[in-house]
Structure 1
Amino acid sequence: MTSPRPLRADAARNRELLLAAAADEFAERGLDASVADIARRAGIGKGTVFRHFATKDDLLAAIVVDRIAALNGVGERLLDAADPGAALLEFLTAAAHQRQQRDLSFLQEAGDLSEEVTSLRTRMFHTVHRLVDRAREHGAIRADVTGADVILLMCAPNHVVSYVPDAPPDLWRRYLAIIFDGLRPEGAHPLPQPPPDGYGERVQSSAR
């Protein structure tokens, strides 16, 4: 099987502009956003959109892939960091900042749009588990915190801020700091419930 030919610089730039316009349109209108509206926002014709992406789901999947791949790249780079605790905090900061740059809540509705999305999401979850394992082994986070816990907390800072009208742009950093303090072992009390049943194990086993 041959690898896809790389896009020319101008074609790659057009694709990037199209994905940015589509992400903005989906953020404003949800998954009901039309290809016509996306094309208009990008300043191109509908035909150009369909030359890049056969369906709207393909376009949505490409947005998801770009976001997950970028975040996973940050996580994988941090796996060899000298300070595992700082590495986990940097990753969680990158995750929250990515969502802050654009309302990505529509991605939660998108589901598994393609095998590539599913594969990349599994790979990223595996990366998170490894970051958490290193931080826990280093004593930087409490011993009863799992990768599944951290995966579920990744969106929390932005989710909390979404309830604040006219929130300052960096308010999410306050809640990320509260979350990370809660992950640290100092002053920790036993957690009242176990992590989600089997969730972390399913992610880890499927990533092997």
Structure 2
Amino acid sequence: MMDGKNTLEPDLDFLRGLVEGGGNRTQYLTGHAFAVGGGLYAFQCFANWLLVILALDLPGIVWITLHSLPTVIFLAYCVWQGVRYGASNTGNATSRAITAAFQAAGFTNLALILIFAPTAIGRNDFTIWLFYPAVVFALQGAAWLTAYQLRRRLWLLGVALGWMVSAVALGLLIGNLAYLLVAGGALFLFMTVPGIVMVRLSKNQD
């Protein structure tokens, strides 16, 4: 007959992990990625808005660079971090669950690109593509809401609600220049700033 104590230990470890907080390398790296990615894409949104407002007659290469360079830089950064630190699965059950939620949201983004991009291109209607960021923002809100439900920290709930409100705002602002300002502001406030907070918390809790 199996020992009852040995049977309960994995469950007790999991529950203990859900209750305890604690920084770890995964949280540190995720926070760094949020800070860098949020900063790059916020800059992209604000730069686009400014160029449209100024009505500058720029060559196509400038627009292509503006739209592609942030992604190139961010992917290069992620590869560099992966090579430098390698895969990390440290931390308690809460940290791993939160990381899994963000990773799931990230992979879902790839599927959304394959849904929205072909339709927008096929119909030659850029408006369709503008719904993609709104859906991505909503997914980010869901991931942060998961983090709040696991950690019960009010700042996590604030970030989640910020993403969701921004997602609705983007949907309502399709075709309006304010769309770019809202997107840039949300990326900075709800991605860059929380990323910095995550990095600091991970250091304080080590």
**Normalization by structure 1: what TM-score?**
0.28
Which gives a bigger RCO, structure 1 or 2 (Cα 8 Å, sep 6+)? 2
**Normalization by structure 2: what TM-score?**
0.28
